[in-house]
Structure 1
């Protein structure tokens, strides 16, 4: 049983990694060219939290309770982008420092 759960979770993770839009965008942002777009991508947080609030209001006004999972997914995606902004700044600083170090090393040799 544990093996089945483990394998199922691997397939779900692979599916989410390849086909879910926020994961695709975050993968593009993690590339060297995409690191500079980390802070502007944080603007998507506003959209996701607005959608979550909208789903909450709809459920309170007698809409289907099936909107709760949509609301949770919107909040989760919002937090992913909210946390990625500062992380992208740190990664960009590390990459630029490594590039400067490589340029200095090449000019000395």
Structure 2
């Protein structure tokens, strides 16, 4: 029974990770090139909150009960988008420090005489 639950959970996680738009955006942001987009991605929390608000308004006015799941999903995605901003700043800082250290430790292949201006 535990094995079945474990497998089902892994499959659901794989599906959500692969096909849900917010997870795709977060995976793209976590790449080295995408880290600079972490702070602007926080703006995506606004539409998610607007959808959650709209769904709660529909629920209050005799809307279908399954909209509670949509509200929950939107709030979860809002939290993910709000969290990626500071996380991406930390990851970008670490990546730049690592690149700076690697550049500093890299031996120079250019001979010293080529770096000095030649006088004619």
Q: What TM-score, normalized by structure 2, do the two folds share? A: 0.87
* Aligned residue in 1 for 2:39: 39
Q: Distance in 1 between matches of 2:55 and 2:107?
A: 57
Can you give the 5+ residue segments of structure 2 that lack an aligned partner in the other structure? 110-120
CA distance in 1, matches of 2:22, 2:7: 23
4+ residue runs of structure 1 moved beyond 6 angstroms? none
Q: Deviations over 1:79-99 (max 9, x none)?
A: 001011000000000000000
CA RMSD of the aligned region, Å? 1.2
Separation (CA, whole Å) in 2 of partners of 1:20 and 1:34:
18
CA distance in 2, matches of 1:15, 1:65: 25
- Alpha-carbon distance in 1 for matches of 2:104, 2:6: 47
Q: Structure 1 stretches of 5 or more lacking a match?
A: none
The TM-score normalised by the length of structure 1 is: 0.96
Residue 89 of structure 1 is matched in structure 2 by: 89
Whole-angstrom CA distance in 1 between matches of 2:20 and 2:41: 16
Q: Does 1:102 align with 2:102?
A: yes
Q: Deviations for 1:28-87, whole angstroms, at most 9, x for unmatched residues? A: 000001000000000001111111111101100111111110010000000001011000
Match of 1:60 in 2: 60
Alignment pair present for 1:27 and 2:27: yes
